[in-house]
Structure 1
Amino acid sequence: MSLLCNYEPEEEDNEERFLLPNVETTEEVEWYTPGGFHPVHLGDTYDDGRYRIVHRLGAGGFATVWLARDEKEKKWVALKVILAEKSVSLGENSHIGYQAASSFSGESKLVAELRRFTIDGPNGHHLCLVLPVLGPSSSQLSSNFTCRLKPWLARRASYQAVKAVSAIHAHGLCHGDVTTANILFNLLDIDHLGEADIYRLFGSPVTDELQIESGEATGPEAPRYIVKALDFLSSTSNIIGSDVALIDFDQCFSMSSPPEKMLGTPAEFLAPEVAVGLPASPASDVWALGCCIFRLRSGEGPFSNYEVTSPVDLLRIVIQTLGDIPLEWQDTLWDYYGQPTKDPSKGKPLSKWEGERSLKDLVYRIWEQPEGNVVETGTGRPEYKAWDARDEEENKPFPPCFSDMVWKPTAVKVDNTYIFGYNDESLALLEAMPKIAEREAALLYDLLSKIFVYDPQKRPTASELLNHPWFQMDGQPD
């Protein structure tokens, strides 16, 4: 995320206070501090007892998100509890977007807010948004070796995401944070399910005590334990639908008044003009859509790797892919945090990364699921043996109920060896994997090469993207 927009504790609190929990966590635990996250526990109730916390759904850059039972209307909701320091500004922005979403949410795949309220806690005054419960994010289902979408679903989800952005643009607004984390799959109706049914489907919540480095007890500003997010793919019954919706209007803005500060969009989805400090626009939403489309189809972003953590990193990898940035951007200086600046005392000129990478090669090298999850090359390889039970679990395919939607790369064997990640040893395994079909690759490259251009005015609009033939490969998209 952009360092200009993310919440950070006060300077004296920057030293790590908490031990890393033993459960996978989706929030930054150091932000349990004044101005930061509100401590939430299972069984807590909010808004005069109306909403009861039952499980964890996840977290974003500015909020934690919980599965809650609406005891008044007897249905499930997602309760989004926003950072105290961001509750006022994000509340104003999100209200604009959610108002627009509520006017045409049915046909445009935009999620409308159900209601909102505020709470006071040990870390401050927090805005709470009540939202419909949705399933996993497209980021979770298109994540390198962990999970990949089936091609038809990647195209369908991409089309619906473009449709959602087109709708919000038609309302005179920009989303400002189009990422795969904000494109969520819908769920089948679950309101008839009770708490026991939720636990039967996904297991009881997994927790781990939150401990302080010094050994002292946590105070009221922090939860007693961290809750692992619910895993929708852990169930033997599939309640995930095939439609997606665009969520999170925290950075929404009117086209006529773009924000003065840089968007808090994760660097890998940031448009290059925004990275150099120019205003965001509908065209920057379209660039982000292009990043989402590639991620949904390939499992990784076109401009993402472990080194891309700031706007200057984004520019470096984009230059490797598209060539030099426009001349008028080249006087931009970059500060210690990788942010653009015009102040010579705070910044330095761009230092480029060596090497080139071709967008066409990235598209044509997208690897696919082999039939039966097996590739036989005739090459002698040592037989794979799991080191522990955790390895064995990683190599198990998803339950059969998900077989038409997703597949797990780490369940694929090339000769006697499971696919396991990027390193010198595994490159040969990936080379042996089947690749995207020539016809689809040509269409996808044509689409992305139109989106990934430096001049925002030369990018197609979201509405124009909807007519591209890549989306039509499975017939008329929904």
Structure 2
Amino acid sequence: MSPRQYEDDDAESLPDSRFLLPQLRDADTEDVEKYQRGGLHPVHLGDIYDGRYRVVHKLGAGGFSTVWLARDDTEHRWVALKIVVADYSTSVSTKSQLSCHAASRCASDAVFGFVLERRHFTLDGPNGRYLCLVLPVLGPSASDLSKGIYSRITPSLSRRASYQATRSLADLHAQGLCHGDVTTANILFGLLNIDRYTESDVYRLFGAPETAPLETESGETPGPEAPKYIVKSLNFLSSIESVISQDVRLIDFHQSFLISLPPEQMLGTPAEFLAPEVAVGLKASPASDVWALRCSIFRVRSGEGPFSGFEVTSPVDLLRIVIQTLGEMPSSWGDTLFDYYGQPTKEPTKGSPLEPVVETGRVRLEDRVWKEDKKKPYPPCLSDTIRKPTATKINNSYIDGYSYETDELLEALPKISENEAALLYDLLSKIFVYDAQKRPSAREVLSHPWFHMGEL
């Protein structure tokens, strides 16, 4: 079947968009098309769930859930209420129980490296039955804080956070469980005693929730399956008080699995974090977790992942970049076939071998959407946590993006020391190898000197 025929078949199978994109400035929202049977549950500010959890603000959204800041009116504290899409609620419930069991067997201090449910309940709604997880409230992710020249975590905190994430993963592996989705989006910074804040304090620190009507393409009023409006997620970096802690936790065990029982199907991990053996269709393992963790460490320290500067949307995209970096793949992988969507397949009629790289397109940062406050420094209370390179004025000029004109400005910014660069290269080069058996375990790399250049 030709790629063109694939395109035609795919175009015929794609449903028409029902909703208009919400008009919220500088906001990443949930996929509004998932407000349908089996999908997301419609949530409104002020809704009360399980008779005690009152929705006050929005914390975020992913492909399989929305997460809300809620006030527990029974225990008088803040919680994160995660409402999973209906079609995945049963699976997520099983994985959540598995991770809770594994974490309960870890050393007492290690448990604090994970985010586990305080309780859960089910909810019947217009789109099905949903699992609702009650979780502790955490702050921004490592992805939020480490964005190239837009936002950079301080060097010492980068090493501290990387060490803590590595230790958490090592403890998880020791209990026979793989995380399966180690990314910077799943490494979250903690908050400093958020329960001391009232509802008015939350609005004072982070602003009242911003909303925009959810409108349909046809102009018809959405039914009960969709919310009346979409809410913009809370921005922890807008606070004028110090609320972000120096400690991180590993979250989201929706793709976790027993080491002794790896999944048969491809992990749902973003392609740029996949280990190469997983990208060719082999089973995931603790070694693939370690590969993903090292990709995350690279992003935490440098602001960009090792493969995120390229268009990597599928396993085959990733492999082309990895081959450029590490050289040719093992010969035993050479007969792997990939389908039109870049996924490994064992069906000869639906796949073809990996094609040589002709040219790899870069994702130029100047093509990204810029926020209006790009030159406004972060509040002083965040000085020990992050800095904003674009707010740095050098020779009477600001950095607007990566281009030939800004090379001189970039050269003037602080650089990683030669000593640290050598240590980081040594750490990463031991892990970025094709043979999973030759990668060190998460436990083994904890003693690497890069982690211990300063106080952790």
Q: Scaled by the length of structure 1, what TM-score is found?
A: 0.87
Aligned partner of 2:180 among 172, 176, 179: 176
**How far 1:452 moved relative to its partner?**
0.5
Gaps in structure 1 of 5+ consecutive residues: 1-9, 358-388
Q: Deviations over 1:53-75 (max 9, x none)?
A: 11101112211111111111111
The answer to whether the 8 Å contact 2:95/2:254 transfers is yes
2:420 pairs with 1:440: yes
Separation (CA, whole Å) in 2 of partners of 1:243 and 1:190: 15
Letter in 2 for 1:40: V
- 1:30-49 equivalences in 2 (<5 Å): 30-47=33-50, 49=51
CA distance in 2, matches of 1:284, 1:412: 38
Deviations 1:193-252 (A, max 9, x none): 211111111010011111111111111111111111110010100111000010111111
The one-letter code matched in structure 1 to 2:284 is A
Instruction: Give the alignment partner of residue 117 of structure 1, picking from 104, 121, 135.
Output: 121
Conservation of the 8 A alpha-carbon contact between 1:395 and 1:412: yes
Q: How far 1:100 moved relative to its partner?
A: 1.9
Query: 3-state SS of the aligned residue for 2:353?
Result: coil
Provide Cα deviations, 1:111-136, integer angstroms capped at 9, x if missing partner: 22101111011111111111111111
Distance 1:424-1:335 versus aligned 2 partners, 3 A rule? farther
Question: Which residue identity lines up with residue 340 of structure 1 in the other structure?
Answer: P
Which one of 137, 140, 143 corresponds to residue 136 of structure 1?
Answer: 140
Root-mean-square deviation (CA), in Å? 1.9
**Relative to 1, partners in 2 of residues 1:40 and 1:173: Cα closer, same or farther, differing over 3 Å?**
same
The 3-state SS of whatever aligns with 2:142 is: coil
Name 2:454's counterpart in structure 1.
Answer: 474
User: Shift of residue 144 of structure 1?
Assistant: 1.6
Residue 103 of structure 1, CA deviation: 4.1
Long gaps (5+) in structure 2: 1-10, 362-369
* Equivalent position SS for 2:350: coil
* Equivalent position of 1:409 in the other structure: 389
- The 1:11/1:91 distance shift into structure 2, 3 A limit, reads farther
Q: Per-residue CA shift, 1:46-97, capped at 9, x if unaligned?
A: 11x2111111011122111111111111111111110111111121112101
Q: Give how far 1:98 is off.
A: 2.3
- Counterparts of 2:12 and 2:58 in 1: how far apart (Å)? 30
Query: Identical aligned pairs, as a percentage?
Result: 64
Question: Matched residues in 2 for 1:318 and 1:33: separation?
Answer: 38
Show the counterpart of 2:234: 230
2:194 is paired with a residue of what secondary structure? coil
Once residues 20 and 323 of structure 2 are traced to their aligned partners in structure 1, the CA distance between those partners, rounded to angstroms, is 39
Structure 2 vs 1, CA of residues 441 and 37 (structure 1 numbering), >3 Å: closer, same or farther?
same
What are the within-5 Å matches in structure 2 for residues 271-286 of structure 1? 271-286=275-290
Cα deviation 1:427-452 (Å, max 9, x = unaligned): 45434433210000000000000011
Matched, 1:292 2:286: no
- Who is 1:88 aligned against? 90
In 2, distance between residues paired with 1:404 and 1:296? 15
8 A contact 2:105–2:175 mirrored in 1: no
Of stretches 192-201 and 450-459 in structure 1, the one that deviates more from structure 2 is 192-201
Aligned length: 434
SS at match of 1:125: strand
C-alpha contact 1:99 1:112 (8 A) present in aligned 2 = no
Cross-structure match for 2:274: 270
- In structure 2, what is the equivalent of residue 29 of structure 1? 32
Q: What SS does structure 2 have at the residue aligned with 1:397?
A: coil
Equivalence for 2:364: none
How far is 1:424 from its partner? 4.3
2:378 to 383, 398, 414: 398
Structure 1 residue 16 displacement after superposition = 1.6
Conserved? CA contact 2:106–2:175, under 8 Å: no
Amino acid in the other structure paired with 2:260: S
- Cα distance in 2 between the residues matched to 1:160 and 1:264: 24
